[in-house]
Structure 1
Amino acid sequence: MNVQSDLLTQFHEIIKQQSIYSVYQPIISLQDGNVFGYEALTRGPKESTFHSPLALFQFAEQQGALYILEKLAREKAIQGSILEHSQQLLFINISSQVLYDPQFVPGKTLEVLHQYGLRPSNVVFEITERSSIEDFSLAKRILEHYRKQGYRIAIDDAGAGYSSLQAIAELQPDFIKIDRSLIEHIHTNKVKEYILETFVTFAHKMNISLIAEGIEQPDELMKLTRLGIHYAQGYLLGRPSEEPAEVQESHRMLIWQHRKVQGSVMTWTIGDLATPVMVFDKKALISEVADHLKKNQEAVGVVIVSEDVPVGLMMRDRLFQQLAGQYAFSLFWNRTIDGIMDENPLIVDEFMAVEQVSQMATSRSINHLYDLVIITSNGKMAGTASIRTMLESITNVRMESARVANPLTGLPGNLQINREINKRIMEERRFHVVYADLDYFKWFNDRFGFQRGDQLIQYTADIMQQAIAVCGTPHDFVGHVGGDDFIAISLSSLPEQLCKEMIRRFEQGIEMFYEGEEWEYVWDRSGKKVQSEGVTLSLSLVVCTCESPLSLEKISQTAALLKKKAKAHHGSIYYFQNIG
């Protein structure tokens, strides 16, 4: 028996015995650090030539058996699903050419979902391009059929070629997965960063969520989080497994810190706007819900739950429209509410940004535009928010941010800095203030120009935030005093380690601003010639023990004295003092 014949026999046996299985790689939300969903990845038998999915699917394609294999793979993905609650999503790969296969019969996936207790709203079809899409009009019709059932669509490998960009334009997916080639070393590659910024702007306008693939370094994760990417996937966050993922606390810290230090962007979460709402079990009678809404005229709707997990929404107007027909009362009155509720309401986690939820809500069809948004906490019912409440909060936050944030870095300015320090003083808990100042910045600005000077200011803002993310806590704060002066307020148990990390990151990247030039002397602000290799970072660390009364003035005076001491030293350094 030749090799090809042997492979064919092995392949047919795998299909016959259904001996493939799925592993699941977590997709992490960059809003809250929680598991947003899983991508199902197919594996062949462990000791087989076809254990690798690449070998398995390539062989199936050569044999004209791709549809059969992908159908089995979808069934196995659903059968082995490790979704932990109804808000998580299962990403299932479908190659573009399978869409045109005559055997690709709509409805088959739905049967398997029902068998294993899942809904179309849990599933995202991820279109992979083993071959490019040839007939976009046909693909759009097929995918629209699935969208109407509640499935969502993702385009894989965006940025890997022209065809994926064309697929985005034609198919208008719900998710775009950004190829690893654009993610690798993005924290050191400005061109990649600018491309990603364009993706973020585009996705914002089109109400598409972005998923960055192939993340392997913490610095990549930090940069992507700061750029506004919605979700992340990669070995750093979790390898493919048959068990649910546990997000490392250090990675969750990086994500949380991003949410705390942003000054000009939306920092309110939808959970801040949650208001109580009446809930009914999905098996409650329609008559019970109608009676409640008649007695409570201010209630615009109710949420339908199953064991405190929201599964549907019943808006007042829609219910009474249903009951308005000639025989509607007798037909519906004693039936359960799950028969007529909206099974696919907008359900979001409490930590999702208000602005992002607003985009999702306003992109709904006109019939559902003013429906309540359901808010969950750890998958359980937490409350609802209305469109009006969200839009009002966005307006208020933007006005406040525009008024007090630094326009260059977007970090909070002096008003917010003073509020934050006073709040910490009132709490009477130990905290630390790090005051950062660039040495010889005027010399740098004069020599390299104000544009490069602005870039150095932004770089300093970045390293401050990155160091806080690595060594700080979720409740820490970074502000921009003005010019080349910054401040960090931290609850870290190792404040000196935080300062060392700031200096390490600054020194690691400052050389790239010099464009390969060298010198022995620089000039300080008074025009005095000083021997130095370039810009350095001086840090004043004020450790506030809160054992005795403290004031903003006392902290400021101490930081100024430490700053003077640091500036007298050549090179990047920090000095610290305990007060209070």
Structure 2
Amino acid sequence: MWSNWAKGLRRRFSIFSLDGRSTVTSLIGQEVRGGATVVLFYADIVRMTEIENRYGDMIAKRVLHIFERILPGVCRDVLEIKGRVLAIQRMWGDDFAIYVSFPRGTYEEECRLLSISFQEQTEMQLNRQVSFVNREDLHVHIGYSIFPGQDVVKEMYTSVKHAVHMAKYGITSEKYTYVTQYHRLLQQEEIHMHFMPIVDLRDGNPLGWEALARGPENTPFFSPSMLFEYAEETDTVFRLEHICRKRALEYLRYLRPEQKLFINLDPRAIDDPYLLRGELLKVLEQTGLNPHNVVLEITERHAITNYTVFRKIIEEYRKKGYLVAVDDAGAGYSSLESITEIYPDFIKLDMSLIRNIDVDPIKQALLETFVQFAEKVKCKIIAEGIETERELETLMELGVSFGQGYYLGRPAKGLTQIPGKAMNFLRGIQEKIMKTNRDPFLFAPGITDVLTKTICVEKQAKVREVHQIFEQNKRIESVIVLEAGKPIGLVMRFQLYQVLGGQYGIALYYERPVWQIMNTNPLTAKKDDLIDEVAKRAMARDSYHLYDVVIITGDEGEYLGIITVQSLLDKMASIKLEMATLANPLTGLPGNIQIERELHARIKRREQQVVIYCDLDRFKWFNDQYGFEVGDQIIVRTAKLLHEAVQRYGNPSDFLGHIGGDDFIVITTPECANAMTTFIIHVFSSYFIDIYQKRNISDGAALSMSMAGVMLVNGRFSGVEDLAQQAACLKGVAKNMPGTVFVSDRIEEQTELAEGMAPGM
């Protein structure tokens, strides 16, 4: 009976097993070349395995046999009204593929309606013929996929996957509609790119832009989360990312040579021929750029399962010249492992680490560690998700060089610049940081070295709101009360809980303004105050307020941040230890380590400065002739002379250091350099007159000083060694001149000032 049915079926339709795929491909190819549209309809029985487990193998086979017998008739009654069935192919188990040719073409809605009709007819006949007892109605999955007709062999596989995904959700469901839309936009490559600026926090210029995928506007797939959610569900991540990269790289022609395009690269889709096989290299060559303008962001959405293979592919990219970034560091599956395995050029810190960093000391400490780590391994940090001015300011103070977030620029269709408001704020903070980081010449750190942030509220805020802040932020111990941006009060956690913990505390105060219970006279300090002075004032408070935070204000009394008594004491202890360790034991001035740090910092600055190297002449003769005691006396007096010169004619930001022996260094501005050196030249001999008189030293044997002034301008020196070489040349010139002299390499004037007075005059 079965053989007669099968023979009859073959006369009507072509039925193939998996082995007959090449014949199906040939049939589809002929129809497409003839101008027809070919659609694959997929059908299977819902929960067929459950039927087998519940009723046994014989019943399951019978259901499948009935299903096979029904399909040709339903195909004839439903599908051949519009088209011609080319083949019914049993793929595996109860899964069938039906290939239909539509000579006049078809469209999505027509296919959907045919699928619904096909499903209804199949289920009706199946349930009418299956008669075993105690069962619910059987249901059929149905899905479809239209062949694009460009590469039939490849489309045989992708079409089946597409149809299976659609069938899983149900033909009339909203999910089914979305899957259909998603596959259509993927097929037509309806992907558009938006670009988010990545900003150099030192000057506000874009380091580059991150390319972000968007689907068609006014559809659910405009959201990238929706887009990639369906890519995951339909197993088309590689296909989607490939389209995204092609779209993003079309914008390369708008980049300047120093700018970069950041494109996302899922670890599962890393071996992309478009990037590795030369096509992109041709595009770069046409635009006058190179692979260094492209940064591949390794996303952390999925773990890297095989680092050995992954690393080999990354090395291929590096050999081509591409740069590599680890994205979402600190929030992914294995971001730290990725960093150690990949050796990225950029580390992008996840927004979860950046959110509220201005009031979270734990996050600040963690970020500081990242910054130090990045400096050691020659990598750059990019902070993602910057949304507020306070977050940006804190990041800049912690030394983060690059940032990205809505405050610095939202995703847009073109390569946009940073907004004007953010640019102005960034410049102001940069100037503030540069002033704060300039150590006074005797290394007396300012209060801003230990500045942190906490949450602020306005004076009319309810006590209830402040209580909720403490409950939601367990690391916060204080809340500052502001009025017009200036601090007028302080609420400490333990003090608030004491108030509310009283018998009627909540009833009396919970809904009142916070100004009624705040400390109205908290200890405040100016940002330029010295740590030791503030510490003395803090420890002089009464015992109840002894451990209250100290509020730091700016020049206009505006709120800047807070410091805790513990941080004050810790900082003082570390300063004393560092000064004792690094300072010259004879003069107390900063020694070589601090001098080198300062020179490195000054070289990076973009303002004109003068480094004056000071070297005593004939010091060795004095030391040998009169002993180390006189030699030490001369060194101490020289330090005092330079100290007086800097105090009288210099700036608060000037630096004075003792290189060692009879060599000193002064860093100042060009405007102050001549006044300082003129003063030193005219008073130099008077500092040593008693030494001369006691030992009857003549003018010809007197001490003198050779001073060499090296100009620091932006980009002139790559490091301290280059600067030292220039200074050595100038000192050689000064040494060949009589008396105390100053020789400068300033282009606009070569200053040579010589002492014209006899000792003691």
TM-score normalized with structure 1 length: 0.49
Where is the helix percentage greater, Structure 1 or Structure 2?
A: 2
Higher RCO by CA contacts (8 Å cutoff, separation 6 or greater)? 1
- Between structure 1 and structure 2, the one with the greater Rg is 2
TM-score normalized with structure 2 length: 0.38
